[in-house]
């Protein structure tokens, strides 16, 4: 079964703790993305990676970090520096050939910081 998996589905953390969200894909896609979805604000890009060992900041990267050590994996760490971390986080991937191809999304992780 090909697709994108995100774990866990729900995550609770105390304020001040770092937390890492998992994203794995077996679609052999080169590019991977992290978005944050808040009610009434749509999807906002946090980070993206077009190739292994390289990634770029999106529009709201402050307080987040990522790594891309393997093609299949693109974990997102929400650090204590992120002021409003409670949100729904979506991971996506796509091929780079062609550049215009569609993004495919994972099921998301809902993070609640208490």
Partner 1 sequence: AQSVSQHNHHVILSEAASLELGCNYSYGGTVNLFWYVQYPGQHLQLLLKYFSGDPLVKGIKGFEAEFIKSKFSFNLRKPSVQWSDTAEYFCAVNPLLPSGTYKYIFGTGTRLKVLA
Q: Which of residues 8-27 bind partner 1 (CB under 8 A)?
A: none
Judged by beta carbon, residue 17 or residue 53, the one nearer partner 1 is 53
How far apart, in whole angstroms, are the C-alpha atoms of residue 1 and residue 89? 22
How far apart, in whole angstroms, are the C-alpha atoms of residue 40 and residue 63? 21
Contacts with 40 (C-beta within 8 Å, 6 or more apart), sequence order: none
Residue 43 CB, nearest distance to partner 1 (Å)?
4
Residue 114, interface with partner 1 (CB under 8 A)?
A: no
Q: Could you tell me how many residues make up the chain?
A: 114
Residue 60, interface with partner 1 (CB under 8 A)?
A: no
> Which residue ranges make up the site for partner 1 (CB under 8 A)?
33, 35, 40-45, 90, 92, 99-100, 102-108
């Amino acid at each position: 079964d090909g697709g994108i998996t995100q774990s866990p589905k729900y995550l609770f953390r105390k304020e001040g703790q770092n937390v890492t969200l998992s994203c794995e894909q077996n679609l052999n896609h080169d590019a991977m993305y992290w978005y944050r979805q808040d009610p009434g604000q749509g999807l906002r890009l946090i980070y993206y990676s077009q190739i292994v060992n390289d990634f770029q900041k999106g529009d709201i990267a402050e307080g987040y970090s990522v790594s891309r050590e393997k093609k299949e994996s693109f974990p997102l760490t929400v650090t204590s520096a992120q002021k409003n971390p409670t949100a729904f986080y979506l991971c996506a991937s796509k091929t780079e050939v062609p550049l215009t191809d569609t993004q495919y999304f994972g099921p998301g992780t809902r993070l609640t910081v208490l």
